[in-house]
Structure 1
Amino acid sequence: MSANPQWDISRALGVARLFHLLCGVRDACAAPFLTLYLRQLGLAAPWVGILMGSKFLVAACWGPLCAFLAKSCQKRRVFLVGSLLGSAGASLLMVLVPPLHRDHRSCNGSGSAATTVLPPAVTLTVTSAHPAGLPSLPARRRRSGGSEASDFTVGPAESDQETLEGLRLVSSLEGAGTTPRVLRPITSGETDSFGAGASEAVDPALLLPQDATLGGPANVSEVKGEAGSLELSSEGLQWTILLAFGFMVVWELLTAPLEQVASDSLYEYLDFVDATDRYRSLGLWRLLGMVAGVCGIAALMGQLDCFLTASGTQGVVCFYGYSLVSTVCFLVSTVFPVPTYQQQEPGYKTIKALSLLGGDPHLLLLALTVVLIGIVTSAVQNFLFWHMEDHGSSALVMGFSVALGLLGEILLHPFKTVLLRKLSRVGAVGLGLGCLAGQLLYYSFLWSWWSVFPIQILSAISSGVLWWAVEASMESLATPGTERPLSTVFRGHFHGGGCSLGSFMGGFLVMRFNLAVFYRICCVILLLWLSVFLSIQPRLPQERKINYSKLLAVEESDTSDSEPGSERDWLVKAMREEPSDCRG
């Protein structure tokens, strides 16, 4: 069959690897930094949670439906091409969302944006043991609501004109250890005492030591009024939220069909020539693409942001990169392997997969676990970069932190079979939940911009090993022919629905508490469910297993003695050597 030019397996796998690699780069350009961009637009945590929850909900419902329609109408390539081109254009709409607060920024020699104008009547009081040289900090810190937390007291503004006229720095030393510094606007009749003029105003963020913030970085999210509210009190807020919501929904409607349609198309193509054993290894290419994409876009953000926007809103380079890579993916999709036949399969397999949940308590417990995983992981995806930014992390640090977790999962992949055999499926799920709880607890105690790196290695277990165990459990519990529909239900509906629910609730919890407390709450919930999972699992009715070794041994007695023994007992030996936990 493979000799037929229509079924060139080597070429199909090569195109599929390239396609998965580019899709990984594409997704990593925008997805990790999306909530950070919404924060920089000035949106509060509840609104960001609502927007992200709507995005996950659209993906969970619309993606599988489009995959079914594409297969029924035999229009898979049309869906692939339309999704890539449509999402490339829709992503650029996010650049048009107006920010609530426009920063007056300029590009310095290195290409990074620097704030040059601050609100008037700003007073700073800094305690320092070294008046001659104060430690530097990041240019600014962000609040959870999206507005900038400048870590100093801002008095009432006198006029916009005074804001644009600059600042005056007056320094006076009072004793050996205290240095009060006062910043006030420079009026039109005044001159700079340093002779540099108003254009050389000093950024006060560089004058503040680490302990001079409002209660420290962990409390930046607790500043009164910064979390915002759900009241649409201004016309600008209404327009920002409505445009962001509309553009994100349209973007997700066009993006959601791609992954499921491409996955089904490639699997059926390989299944027709009995080459599905090569399908599983393609996920590594997507992870490699995500590593390259998140590092590359993070490096470009600091260099190109201030040149691509006049409003000062950072993050627009993510959408330009996403659109560019989507265009390249479109070129590859024109030769992506798509079966040209109509496979005769019943169309009710998804309903049959859902019906298995009611009759199998193991699957029901696993489904509840996957929903909880989605709820908790949405907390990491949505607000971890906020927490890191509050501690001075740059976009490059955030990108490297994500890449470190992905690299750990790639390096651990060759040991997948050994780990599942040694730990068992239940043990691997428990280990993954425990590592995820440990990550969340660690995130709540971040103390500097680099402190996130040591814990990211656990992502290989809390993401990789956990999902390997979940997929192995689904395959063993599913009836013949329902493995893939059941996997789609778990990953698409249950996990996606959990991410949506977690985003909706997470935004309000961040508004009510700070990010550190929010992560501790998620950690406690995970540990409680882990104890419930491990206590319920042994009490569930055991799965009925078929002992294929004994069945074949009985059949051997009925065979002819003239039959070669090497052809009769090879499967018997294989089943005897296979561990019992892998058979079950």
Structure 2
Amino acid sequence: MSANPQWDISRALGVARLFHLVCGARDACVTPFLTLYLRQLGLTAPWVGILMGTKHLIAAFWAPVCAFLAKSYQKRRVLLIASLLGSMGASLLMVLIPPLDKDLVYRSCNGSSSETTTAIPLGLSRTVDIASAQEAASSHRARPPSLLVKSTGIMETSGFRIGPDESDQKPSNDLPKYLVDSAKGARTISQVLHHTTSFEVAHTALPLLPEGTELGAANLSVVKAKAQALSLEGLQWTFILSLGSIAFWELLTAPLEQVADDSLYEYLDFVDATDRYRSLWVWRLLGMSVGVCGISALVGQLDCFLMTNGPRSVVHFYGYSLVSTLALLVSIAFPVPICRRREPSYKTVKALSLIGGDPRLILLAFTVFLVGAAASTVQNFLFWHMKDHGSSELVMGFSVALSLLGEILLHSFKIALLKKLSRVGTVGLGLGCLAGQLLYYSFLWNWWSVLPVQILSALSSGALWWAVGASLEDQATARTERSVRAMFRGHFYGGGSSLGSFVGGFVVMYSSVAVLYQACCVVLLLWLVLFLTIQARLPQERKINYSKLLVMEASDTSDSEEGTERDWLVRAMREEHSEWKG
């Protein structure tokens, strides 16, 4: 086996580190900023939640299927290359989706600090202030275009109010061109949309008849119905195109990470070098830190020089495709084992039965599910919240990099932390830190206020998953550790992220992002109390440490014992078997 050139461990680890570094930078180009891009397209919180929930759901259940098929037919390298090529093209489909507001990119380049999304949610009841429309039409020549909007306060799709002064003092050159262009004699005003829960969306383009025309009730109803139909049709097409693009993109991207991890683990397992596999996650986090800061700085510098019909965040997708090209080159040399050991194909079923029969694993599964739901609300709407407080994309990227670097730095204290607090205590600490982060996010007051709390992500993400992984290794049976860990990472965490996205979008629509984070904080704190209470009442399991038994002194065994009772290892195994049967 050593003569086979396939087993070059140093080269394989070097390629794997580079692959994780590049793939981390590739994912960081788009993933943190995807919901911000969807907001710039004009989609409101519920539809963004549906899109992200669908994305998480596909990743949770499609990736294991592809990994199993690739292993069964020995097509892992083909799948790696096809996934990188396909995701590169699928990501560019998002660039082709037209935004609802064609002039959004011009307003952002003119220095508008708050971009009002011009979207109408599906099923949202809308009323038009006809009296204001007539007044605006009659006094169009005497009033500047910036005063055509009724100054009662307009709310963005995220649910945060823009004050009357801010609306009225907005310069006319930041408005869409069709609001100030009177070459064709068109008369347009902005309609204020109201919801019963005070959710209002600024929308444009309700055409009026030429000046001096009497509008009857029938004509007004026809104009209103046409405007509503056009707005609803535009939103439906934007949502359908976004859903199709994201679903197709995720189908191609989801299998990449799991197939690469399985290939590398089996490659190292042939030569008993799996201990080196555990340190590769650091390179992925480093790549994400570099990628998220680099792409956000690039977007801030180049967005106003890109003459496109879409929002400025299209640069994220171009960067994603560029880094995917580099990852494609690295994947050609990625270590993939040629021969493979015959392993049972029912490991997933065995892992599921193991989890269902252990109350500690069931409790841990519910914890991971809730953590995924809470984490999805941060991923989906934190940047919305920061944007409403004046944060730039560079600040957003730097906040993500802070949390990733904190997790890397804390890793050197992993063993001491788990010994000092125990696994249950570390899980409780992670839940408490995540709840504290969410409560802090709900009280943001300016653009930089999110930065200090990001260091807690090292505990709420890193330490929590270290404790979960240690618990799974301790309670899983032989050859099922990776299957159980993949189920927790994929199905339970991914399922929680999907549900959190679906529910979180509607909470944001009917209240606000701050209320969403406060509700998640309360749920996590209640579960923390319940988790510690149930964990304390569970019976303590007696585990046999065979390494300690092997160094037992011979005097511990009495010479009077006969037969198999003199074999201390057999006796210990019998005792464990009897406890398991009981």
Q: Same fold, TM exceeding 0.5?
A: yes
Change over 3 Å in CA distance of 1:183–1:330 after alignment to 2: closer
Q: For residue 25 of structure 1, what is the amino acid of its counterpart?
A: A
User: Conserved in 2, the CA contact under 8 Å of 1:102 and 1:311?
Assistant: yes
Distance across 2 between alignment mates of 1:324 and 1:554: 60
1:487-508: per-residue Cα shift (whole Å, max 9, x none)?
0100011100110011011111
Q: How does 1:365-444 map to 2 (within 5 A)?
A: 365-444=363-442
Alignment match, 1:39: 39
Q: 1:468 to 1:452 in 2, by over 3 A?
A: same
User: Amino acid of the residue matched to residue 5 of structure 2?
Assistant: P
TM superposition shift of 1:413: 1.1
Match of 2:513 in 1: 515
Please list, as runs of the form range in 1=range in 2, the aligned pairs for 1:463-478 lying within 5 A after superposition: 463-478=461-476
Measured in 1, the distance between the counterparts of 2:229 and 2:508 equals 17
| Distance 1:555-1:156 versus aligned 2 partners, 3 A rule | farther
The separation in 1 between residues aligned to 2:170 and 2:347, in whole angstroms, is 69
Q: Is the 8 A contact 1:306 1:312 kept in 2?
A: no
Q: Secondary structure at the match of 1:6?
A: coil
- Alpha-carbon offset, residue 225 of structure 1: 2.3
Q: CA deviation at 1:306?
A: 3.0
Superposed CA RMSD:
3.3
In structure 2, the residue matched to 1:75 is: 75
Q: Does 1:318 align with 2:310?
A: no
CA distance in 1, matches of 2:2, 2:116: 57
Spell out, residue by residue over 1:332-380, the C-alpha distance to the aligned partner (whole angstroms, 9 max, x if none): 0000000001321001111100001221000000001011111110000
Q: Could you list the runs of 5+ residues in structure 2 that have no partner in the other structure?
A: 122-128, 148-164, 174-181, 183-196, 204-227, 558-582
Following TM superposition, by how much is the alpha carbon of 1:74 offset from its aligned partner in structure 2, in angstroms?
0.3
Name the counterpart of 1:140: 114
Q: Write out aligned runs for 1:267-416 (5 A).
A: 267-416=265-414
Normalising by structure 2, report the TM-score: 0.78
Distance, in Å, in 1 between the alignment partners of 2:38 and 2:166 is 37
Question: Counterpart of 1:573?
Answer: none
Contact 1:141 1:389 in 2 (8 A): no
Amino acid at match of 1:18: L
Within 2, Cα distance between the matches of 1:180 and 1:242?
31
**2: distance between equivalents of 1:471 and 1:499?**
19
Give 3-state SS (helix, strand or coil) of 2:6's partner.
helix
| Structure 2 residue matching 1:7: 3-state secondary structure | coil
Deviations 1:544-577 (A, max 9, x none): 3114366335574599xxxxxxxxxxxxxxxxxx
Kindly indicate whether residue 11 of structure 2 is the aligned counterpart of residue 16 of structure 1: no
> Is contact 1:167–1:184 with CA below 8 Å preserved after alignment?
no
SS at match of 1:445: coil
Equivalent in 110, 113, 138 of residue 109 of structure 2? 113
Offset at 1:415? Answer: 1.3
Distance 1:304 1:520 in 2: 36
Q: Deviation of residue 145 (structure 1)?
A: 6.1
Aligned to 1:204: none
SS of 1:5's partner is coil
Name the CA shift for 1:236/1:330 in 2 (closer, same or farther; >3 Å). same
Q: Match for 1:114: what amino acid?
A: N
Counterpart contact for 1:38–1:146, Cα < 8 Å: no
Change (3 A) 1:281 1:142: farther
Percent identical residues: 68
Letter in 1 for 2:403: G
In the alignment, the residues of structure 2 paired with residue 522 and residue 374 of structure 1 have an alpha-carbon distance, to the nearest angstrom, of 11
Q: Confirm or deny: 8 A CA contact 1:267 1:276 kept in the other structure.
A: yes
User: Residues 144 and 327 of structure 1: is their aligned pair in 2 closer, same or farther, counting only changes over 3 Å?
Assistant: same
Tell me by how many angstroms 1:13 deviates: 0.2
User: What TM-score do the two structures reach when normalised by structure 1?
Assistant: 0.78
* CA spacing shift, 1:554–1:418, aligned 2, 3 Å: closer
Change in CA separation of 1:70 and 1:450 when aligned onto 2, cut-off 3 Å:
same
Pick aligned residue for 1:252 from 250, 272, 280: 250
SS at the partner of 2:311?
coil
- CA deviation string 1:489-528 (max 9, x = no partner): 0001110011001101111111111111110000000000
Could you tell me how far apart the structure 1 residues matched to 2:377 and 2:452 are?
Answer: 19
* Counterpart residue type for residue 387 of structure 1: H
**SS at 1:274's partner residue?**
coil
Aligned-partner Cα distance in 2 for 1:180–1:72: 61
1:483-502 to structure 2, matched below 5 A, reads 483-502=481-500
Within a 5 Å distance, the mapping from 1:448-459 to structure 2 comes to 448-459=446-457
Q: Which amino acid aligns with 2:113?
A: A
Q: CA deviation at 1:290?
A: 0.2
For 1:191, the equivalent position in structure 2 comes to: none
Deviation at 1:234, TM superposition (A): 2.0
What SS does structure 1 have at the residue aligned with 2:477?
coil
Structure 1 residue runs of 5 or longer lacking an equivalent are 116-137, 148-152, 170-177, 187-197, 199-221, 560-584
Counterpart residue number, 1:240? 238
Partner of 2:58: 58
* Residues 182, 322 of structure 1: alpha-carbon distance in 2 compared, 3 angstrom cutoff: closer
**1:225 maps onto 2:200 in alignment:** yes
Q: CA separation of 1:376/1:26 partners in 2, compared to 1, >3 Å: closer, same or farther?
A: same
Matched, 1:538 2:510: no
Alpha-carbon spacing, 1:488–1:309, altered in 2? closer, same or farther (3 Å):
farther
Aligned equivalents of 1:15, 1:139: Cα separation in 2: 43
Q: Is the CA contact 2:105–2:312 (under 8 Å) kept in the aligned structure 1?
A: no
Q: How does 1:145-224 map to 2 (within 5 A)?
A: 156=133, 224=199
Q: How far does residue 307 in structure 1 lie from its aligned partner after superposition?
A: 3.0
Counterparts in 2 of 1:87 and 1:506: CA distance versus 1, 3 Å: same
Deviation at 1:102, TM superposition (A): 1.6
Distance 1:13 1:553, change over 3 A: closer
Q: Name the CA distance, whole Å, in 2 between partners of 1:144 and 1:473.
A: 48
1:270–1:276 contact (8 Å) kept in structure 2: yes
Identify the residue that residue 121 of structure 1 maps to in structure 2.
none
2:88 is matched with 88
Matched residue type, 1:37: Y
Amino acid at match of 1:140: S
* Displacement after TM superposition at 1:223 (Å): 5.9
CA distance in 2, matches of 1:240, 1:66: 29
SS of the counterpart of 2:110?
strand
Quick one: distance in 2 between partners of 1:482 and 1:350? 8
Structure 1 residue 478, shift from structure 2 partner: 0.3
Task: Label 1:32 to 1:104 Cα distance change in 2 as closer, same or farther (>3 A).
Answer: closer
One-letter code aligned to 2:257: E
For residue 79 of structure 1, report the CA deviation from its aligned partner. Answer: 0.5
* 1:2 positional shift: 4.6
1:492 counterpart letter in structure 2:
G
Cα deviation for residue 463 of structure 1 reads: 0.6
For residue 84 of structure 1, what is the amino acid of its counterpart? L
* CA-CA distance at 1:139 after TM superposition: 2.2
Aligned residues: 487
Q: Which moved more, 1:357-366 or 1:16-25?
A: 357-366
The separation in 1 between residues aligned to 2:170 and 2:16, in whole angstroms, is 59
In 2, distance between residues paired with 1:181 and 1:97? 31
The residue type equivalent to 1:434 in the other structure is G
